[in-house]
A and B are shown apart, each in its own frame.
Chain A
Amino acid sequence: MKFYGYERPDGSVGIRNILLVMAAADCSEPVARMIAEGIDGAFSVTQHYGCIPGQMVANTLIGVGENPNVGAILLVGMGCEGMPASALGKVIKKTGKPVEWISIQESGGTENTVSKGKQILRDFSQKVSGLKRGEFEANKLIVGVKCGGSDTSSGLAGNPAAGVFVDMLVDAGGSAIMMEPIEAVGAEEPLAARAFNEEVKNKIYKMIGNEEKRWSVPGAQMEFMCRGNVEGGLTTIEEKSLGAIHKSGSRPIVDVLENTDYRLEKVPKGGGVYLQDGTHMEPMAMSFMAAAGAHMVLFVTGCGGTFGHAIVPFIKVTGNPDTFRRMSRDMDINAGTILTGEESMESVGKRIFNKVIEVASGSLTLGEKLGYDNFSVFRQDPRLEALLNISK
């Protein structure tokens, strides 16, 4: 299987040519938004942990900027923040793609910055618009798999069909990332049985154990399953997890990608299934997966989730036939045909693979067509991590 993508100066291949305007902190977000407004293919993003957000947020923003779907990036800062736009920009610039940064204070205020920013963005636009898509093997593809708004159809149809696709992708030399630190509680054994070696097995138990600690603090009332999960028939976290892990297929788990204040580990070359530490909350998980190098995310839903991401296209799959009937203009893939007995798991897995190749080659997902551009960033609170004695 081949797809058509954009080769970047660092040898990575992108499937979109996004002009990204990134505000280093939310104080400069309105200016970033004003710069991006009205310029074709431009999105503005930011994070909401303030101007001294810590290394985990910096790792994510840098990784997102480095993602090959980003054709060029302009970083916007106020000028006085602890994590300045220039510091992020200097790291991202090593990819060789067009990178610039501006400070609102140095540029002479809002109007001057917006005008200067738009000029930079138009120059970027001219540069990246000339890039042509080239032909690449599927082994260059990195696809994130995530589920959300799960009901029991997710474990019986949507996730196993996604798993068939992941097996096909990995067999073709590609890579898949699954980020479900909490929705693996109760499913440690089947995951550990797929670990590439003893070290990876230990990492799997450690990642899940840490997350269980964070969500079961005595005295804190934490909801970790949503109302729709239980109304959809899911009884316990174990049942939810055992259904959720199906989407990672059956191939060996090559590694657990570290995602801490120390570093955000990227998907290495060579293909295979990776688990990534992070969060189960979808838009934030997608930013982490984008930062690790994912080109797109396959999202499996039962109740029906309608969102997207500014950097990585989001292919939506539902295993619930009723959800597909109600929301067919949001759901890219109907895996409900498995429960109605109309189609085999293998057949749906193949349809997903074909859709992934189409989307990788430029075809828009339904979410992209509707203009979804969610972006949010997550961090572990270093104080809580220390208090809970979370081992790194």
Chain B
Amino acid sequence: MKKALMMNAKDNVATALEDLDKKTPVSVILPSQETLKEVTIKQSIPFGHKLAITGIKRGDRVMKYGEVIGNASQDIENGDYVHVHNVKSNRMQMPEIWYREEE
């Protein structure tokens, strides 16, 4: 089974260690390589990108490394792809023009 890495016990996201195909189960592992649980992912997630390993309500903190990396800008379900479309920084936002170029 493909793997995703959870860095800290407080985290609610994990990082894909390979490209993950949608609707497949993924094994969430700890830095010790120990398996914590399985999550079935909702959308395809590229290597290095994040998935929710629990439901996260809009406005709730998104945790990685045991620290806050931003807040959910919409409700996120267990197994959802987590990135700039559903998480906002609490500190500094990138200019909007930059996101338009991305589309």
Contact = CB atoms under 8 A, between A and B. Distances in A.
A237 B49 contact: no
Contacts of B12: none
B37 interface: no
A238 B69 contact: yes
Contacts of B53: none
Contact of A239 (B46, B64, B92, B97): B64
A233 B49 contact: yes
Q: Max chain B CB contacts within 10 Å: which of A189, A233, A341?
A: A233
A233 B92 CA distance: 17
Contacts, number: 89
Nearest to B83: A235
A152 interface: yes
A237 B48 contact: no
Contacts of A239: 64, 69-70
B9 interface: no
Interface string A340-373: 0100000000000000000000000000000000
B48 A151 contact: yes
Nearest to A224: B92
Interface in B59-87: 62, 64-65, 67-70, 82-84, 87
Given A242-B65, A242-B69, A233 B87 contact: no
B17 interface: yes
A249 to B, nearest CB: 15
B65 A243 contact: yes
Contacts of B47: 233, 322
Interface residues of B, number: 32
B76 to A, nearest CB: 12
Contacts of A225: 94
A339 interface: yes
Contact of B70 (A224, A227, A235): A235
A235 B102 CA distance: 14
B29 to A, nearest CB: 9
B52 interface: no
Interface in A230-273: 230, 232-233, 235-239, 242-243
A186 interface: yes
A198 interface: no
A301 interface: no
Interface in B15-65: 15-17, 33, 46-50, 62, 64-65
Contacts of B50: 152, 233, 235
B82 to A, nearest CB: 7
A215 interface: yes
Contacts of B70: 235-236, 238-239
B49 A152 contact: yes
Contacts of A187: 67
Given A232-B48, A233-B50, A235-B82, A223 B67 contact: no
Contacts of B90: 186, 236, 238
Given A233-B48, A235-B87, 7 more contacts: A152-B48, A215-B92, A235-B84, A236-B90, A237-B91, A320-B48, A339-B17
15 contacts: A152-B50, A155-B65, A156-B5, A185-B91, A187-B67, A216-B92, A227-B102, A233-B46, A235-B50, A235-B62, A236-B69, A236-B87, A236-B88, A302-B48, A320-B48
List of 10 A-B pairs having minimum Cβ-Cβ separation, nearest first:
A236-B89, A233-B48, A239-B69, A152-B48, A221-B95, A233-B49, A236-B70, A238-B69, A242-B65, A235-B87
Interface of B: 5, 7, 15-17, 33, 46-50, 62, 64-65, 67-70, 82-84, 87-92, 94-95, 97-98, 102
